[in-house]
Structure 1
Amino acid sequence: MKIEEWFQVLRSKAETIEEQWSDASEQERLQLADQLFYLRQVSDTVVDLWLQFEERLSNAIRRVKEMEGQISPAEKSVPGAESLSAVKATMTMTNEQGTAMEKTEKTSYTPASPPKEASAYEPMFRRGEGFYHLRMYQDAKKCFAELMEESPDWESGRLYYAYSLLFCEEQEGAFREFRLLSRSASSPTVVAISYNAIGCILAEEQQWLEAAQAFKLSLEAKPDQEEARYNLALCYYLDGDAQEALDEIERYMQKDEHDWEAQMLWLRAAQQLQAMDEEAELTPPPSLQLPTRELDNDTLQEMASLYESVGNYHRAQICYHFLSERLPKAGWAWHGLAWNTWLIAGTKRALTLLKKAISLSPENDDFTFSFGWMLLFDGQVDQAMAAFRHILERDRDNRLGQSGMISAYEKLGELASARRLAKEFTDDQDPYVRALGYFHLGRLAVVEENWRLAEQYFQRTLTHAEHFREVPIYMQLCATKLGETVRNKELFPS
């Protein structure tokens, strides 16, 4: 029997016991309990045998490396890439859509050999290392705690101990151990890894300034500690320092330009900078200058969003084209393709794509609104109003549907109806909705050529939400009609 099949039999036995327990009699439960005890004994035996195998395997790998001249006999490869793939420090970021992006650090290094007096405790180290591999962090913590009592200067053991504490959610203890290593370790790599872990712990508590300083110290100790550079860029981004984030992530991408997490971070930092300064000049790294099929889905989506924000609809369209090919049942991909196609080529070519999106997500009001909006600008006002009313039938207070109706009433010349709806927006609790209401009222005043009133409404728009791109154009128009000169700070308030 293959080992996979054997484990499957064991899993099936455990599942059967769980299923039978609730309906079992007292006598049957005793028998089931005996079976569980037997399975626990089997599990413990497997763990012990695996630990022995892991120790023998690690020794063999180290010995082969010594014979091949890859490491000196005095060095120990703990924890290295082949033996500590689970050592990691994680920072999480969230974009505007609420999706999470995660960067996981996997550390590989070869520190100095353990102290001479520690050789007697190497079996204890190997046992703890084995538990760590199995993600049995409580057991690993106990082993390494005992090891630290017997051999407190063993840097690799203390590093394992610190990470075991961290994964047991004992952050205070882990922080203390990492700080001790950062100040006393003889290996620059151990120092760098410790500072990086400290930075991650601080970042989780949103102590951005302190976290950034820790990542910088990690890079000072070991300039090629790329995980720390990535985390520093991420820290800057989460703290709103877009330019600093871009500078660091571009340095990181000089080593690995195709790292998709780094690509996404660059795109998000670029969007952040663009929101703060619309005239900021951005030059993407080579791997992001053109969308290609080699990019993963998340990166393509981020690229599309960035291209849309700067008005590069052709490249955004390419991104959504690749996404719709790869994700044919994703309504949002077809919607993005339809919207950018409309901006480039007009309604006729876009509507077919948009109908595909709506067929995949018929309850999505955004898609229905886009359908009505395209029809409205194509002069098909009645059909557009039917789409907006369809949204309002499901939710009479839907601001998206109401906004569409305001624009439709404006097209029909029914300005009183449009004005009545727009004024409802100005009482909303959401600042953006209030700004949208004032924007609609300003447009209606422009239609009536009431330039002074329109100017006042547009100024109120910027009071509640600064990022209405059309407002500066309308304010310039009002100033021209009123024979005035509009000041730049009025167009682009700080």
Structure 2
Amino acid sequence: MKIEDWFQTLRTKAQSIEERWKEASEQERLQLADQLFYLRQVSDTVVDLWLQFEEKLSNAIRHIKQMEGQLPAATQEEQAETAMAKEGEALVQKEAGKTAAKEAGSEVKHGKLPQEMHAYEPVFRRGEGFYHLRMFQDAKKCFAQLVQESPDWESGRLYYAYSLLFCDEMETAFREFRLLAKSASSPTVVAISYNAIGCLLAEEKQWLEAAQAFKTSLEAKPDQEEARYNLALCYLMDGDAQEALDEIEGYLQKHEHDWEAQLLWLRAAHLLFQMDETAELAPPASLTLPNRELDSETLQEMAHLYEAVGNYHRAQICYHFLTERLPKEGWVWHGLAWNTWLIAGSERGLTLMKKAISLAPGQDDFVFSYGWMQLFDGNIPGAILAFRHMLEKDSENRLGQSGMISAFEKVGETREAKRLAKQFLDDSDPYIRSLGYFHLGRLAMIEENWRLAEQYFQRTLPHADQFREIPIYLQLCASKPGGQAAESELVQP
């Protein structure tokens, strides 16, 4: 039997036990538990045999190279080179409060291995094997022994620090990384250690201190790209949008297809627009189109961020991929319809919106969007019909009422529009009240009552981020000579 077939048999047995467990009786579960214990013993034996084989193989290769003259003799100092793989880097997603792992490999060269360290190389190889098998408790024991017997072996101490980290011994890991950062002779080890320190600080949301650690990592090794990515992320989480953009654009120059970096750029650009609507940003040339390989959650977030920065074509592509993957989800078709309408107009957009409504007929947002498209394409009767359909189900539906206000405004029925808008002012929701003031301000502008319009717009300022037109409207009101408003019409403080 081939070894692949043997392992497939073991995987099948484990899967069978998992599937049978739920419906098994108490006696059957005892038998299944025995089978699991047996499989665990098999696994432990295989790992141990593999480690012995790996050690023997490494020794054989090294000795053969020595005999062929490709390496110095064992009695001389020899070069040792190992790989630190999958460094844990704290990546905190904005607003979600979650952390994820961004894994990257880094080659760590130790320089010449002193003769007295040769005796501990089997321990190092064994610990390295456990580490790459993600058996971090076993790896920690091996590297703890190595560090005690050979404290100057920098790569061994680095493996020890990461093993502690993955065993959730954060404080001890932090101390080891700090020791390496201060004492290591290898710039690579120093850079990796400061990067790890930054990640641990970022886990505690100490953004300023974490950013300083990432900067120090880059000072030790300017091409430490993981630290550059993490520095950009720290800036973003600390609200420094422009600094985040500067760093991530530098990262994207070397990693143009890194979708996580593209996503970070979009988040930073969105934040900058929120702080300064006049900011002009051109996406870097390396910001590539979304692709089908991304998971649905990532495509959805990218679509929202593309929409926020006005890149409707790329948002449309994200939703197109999502419709292929989630063809029965109304919100996907709604997103595709909305962005298609913004790009190409109503002919295609309305058709897609109808599909969204058919998949989620109870979703008022979709009906509102359908009416809104018709309103701005000049089909006032069609828009009013959509908004009235919403109000027939719920006469207090603020979304439907808001659509009707805009429709009345279009046809010049300002009195009816005012009546509806003033109902918003008694709502318990501060945002709804601000929306009412916004509508009333626009209606006052139509009547050229600039003084009253300015007062209405001033009352929307607590939610100004929801109404991007407010600064422009206030400037317009300030530039006018000022119409006279009756004392009863003035907004009371």
TM score, norm. by length of structure 1: 0.81
Matched-pair contact (CA < 8 Å) for 1:338–1:350: yes
Return the match for 1:77 from 62, 75, 81: 81
Residue matched to 2:132: 133
Once the two structures are TM-superposed, the CA of residue 162 in structure 1 deviates from its matched residue by 1.0
> Which amino acid in 2 is paired with 1:320?
Q
Q: Report the Cα distance in structure 2 between the residues aligned to 1:212 and 1:93, rounded to whole angstroms.
A: 16
Q: Report the Cα distance in structure 1 between the residues aligned to 2:22 and 2:262, rounded to whole angstroms.
A: 51
Q: Report the Cα distance in structure 2 between the residues aligned to 1:12 and 1:106, rounded to whole angstroms.
A: 32
Does residue 6 of structure 2 align to residue 6 of structure 1? Answer: yes
> Which amino acid in 2 is paired with 1:9?
T
Q: Report the Cα distance in structure 1 between the residues aligned to 2:25 and 2:356, rounded to whole angstroms.
A: 52
Once the two structures are TM-superposed, the CA of residue 69 in structure 1 deviates from its matched residue by 7.7
Q: Report the Cα distance in structure 2 between the residues aligned to 1:232 and 1:406, rounded to whole angstroms.
A: 47
Q: Report the Cα distance in structure 2 between the residues aligned to 1:256 and 1:234, rounded to whole angstroms.
A: 15
Q: 1:186 to 1:388 in 2, by over 3 A?
A: same
SS at match of 1:75: strand
SS at match of 2:91: strand
Once the two structures are TM-superposed, the CA of residue 337 in structure 1 deviates from its matched residue by 4.4
Matched-pair contact (CA < 8 Å) for 2:123–2:146: yes
Q: 1:254 to 1:478 in 2, by over 3 A?
A: closer
Describe the superposition over 1:400-435 as per-residue Cα deviations: whole angstroms up to 9, x where unpaired. 334223323444666565445434544556654443
In terms of mean alpha carbon deviation, does 151-160 or 9-18 score higher?
9-18
Matched-pair contact (CA < 8 Å) for 1:115–1:153: no
Matched-pair contact (CA < 8 Å) for 1:144–1:160: yes
> Which amino acid in 1 is paired with 2:6?
W
Residue matched to 1:205: 204
**In the TM superposition, what are the counterparts of 1:461-476 in structure 2 within 5 Å?**
461-466=460-465, 468-476=467-475
Once the two structures are TM-superposed, the CA of residue 459 in structure 1 deviates from its matched residue by 1.6
Instruction: Structure 1: state its 5+ residue gaps.
Output: 485-494
Q: 1:57 to 1:99 in 2, by over 3 A?
A: same
- Give the RMSD, CA atoms, in angstroms: 3.8
Once the two structures are TM-superposed, the CA of residue 206 in structure 1 deviates from its matched residue by 1.1
Residue matched to 2:90: 90
> Which amino acid in 1 is paired with 2:279?
A
Does residue 214 of structure 2 align to residue 215 of structure 1? Answer: yes
Q: Report the Cα distance in structure 1 between the residues aligned to 2:316 and 2:59, rounded to whole angstroms.
A: 51
Residue matched to 1:487: none
SS at match of 1:108: strand
Does residue 312 of structure 2 align to residue 316 of structure 1? Answer: yes
Q: Report the Cα distance in structure 1 between the residues aligned to 2:32 and 2:319, rounded to whole angstroms.
A: 51
TM score, norm. by length of structure 2: 0.82
Residue matched to 2:488: none
Matched-pair contact (CA < 8 Å) for 1:332–1:357: yes
Once the two structures are TM-superposed, the CA of residue 385 in structure 1 deviates from its matched residue by 3.9
In terms of mean alpha carbon deviation, does 209-218 or 416-425 score higher?
416-425
Matched-pair contact (CA < 8 Å) for 1:141–1:161: yes
Matched-pair contact (CA < 8 Å) for 2:177–2:193: yes
Q: 1:364 to 1:404 in 2, by over 3 A?
A: same
**In the TM superposition, what are the counterparts of 1:245-260 in structure 2 within 5 Å?**
245-260=244-259
Matched-pair contact (CA < 8 Å) for 1:422–1:438: yes
Matched-pair contact (CA < 8 Å) for 2:77–2:114: no
Q: Report the Cα distance in structure 2 between the residues aligned to 1:30 and 1:336, rounded to whole angstroms.
A: 52
> Which amino acid in 1 is paired with 2:286?
S
Matched-pair contact (CA < 8 Å) for 1:320–1:337: yes
Once the two structures are TM-superposed, the CA of residue 259 in structure 1 deviates from its matched residue by 2.4
Once the two structures are TM-superposed, the CA of residue 232 in structure 1 deviates from its matched residue by 0.8
Instruction: Structure 2: state its 5+ residue gaps.
Output: 484-493
**In the TM superposition, what are the counterparts of 1:51-450 in structure 2 within 5 Å?**
51-56=51-56, 74-78=78-82, 80=83, 84-94=84-94, 103-288=102-287, 291=289, 308-309=307-308, 316-317=312-313, 319-321=315-317, 323-324=319-320, 327-328=323-324, 329=327, 334-391=333-390, 399-411=398-410, 415=414, 418-426=417-425, 431-450=430-449
Describe the superposition over 1:139-196 as per-residue Cα deviations: whole angstroms up to 9, x where unpaired. 2222222222222222112111111111122211111111111011111101100000
Describe the superposition over 1:178-225 as per-residue Cα deviations: whole angstroms up to 9, x where unpaired. 111101111110110000000011111111110011001101111111
Q: 1:65 to 1:23 in 2, by over 3 A?
A: same
Q: 1:274 to 1:50 in 2, by over 3 A?
A: same
Q: Report the Cα distance in structure 2 between the residues aligned to 1:473 and 1:282, rounded to whole angstroms.
A: 20
Q: Report the Cα distance in structure 1 between the residues aligned to 2:434 and 2:355, rounded to whole angstroms.
A: 32
> Which amino acid in 2 is paired with 1:41?
Q
Q: 1:380 to 1:176 in 2, by over 3 A?
A: same
Residue matched to 2:489: none
Q: Report the Cα distance in structure 2 between the residues aligned to 1:172 and 1:100, rounded to whole angstroms.
A: 19
> Which amino acid in 2 is paired with 1:49?
L
Q: Report the Cα distance in structure 2 between the residues aligned to 1:69 and 1:433, rounded to whole angstroms.
A: 77
Describe the superposition over 1:433-470 as per-residue Cα deviations: whole angstroms up to 9, x where unpaired. 44322111212323444332211001222243246332
> Which amino acid in 2 is paired with 1:48?
D
Once the two structures are TM-superposed, the CA of residue 242 in structure 1 deviates from its matched residue by 1.2
> Which amino acid in 2 is paired with 1:355?
K
Q: 1:322 to 1:88 in 2, by over 3 A?
A: closer
The number of equivalent residue pairs is 474
Q: 1:114 to 1:432 in 2, by over 3 A?
A: farther
Matched-pair contact (CA < 8 Å) for 1:148–1:158: yes
SS at match of 2:196: helix
Q: 1:168 to 1:399 in 2, by over 3 A?
A: farther
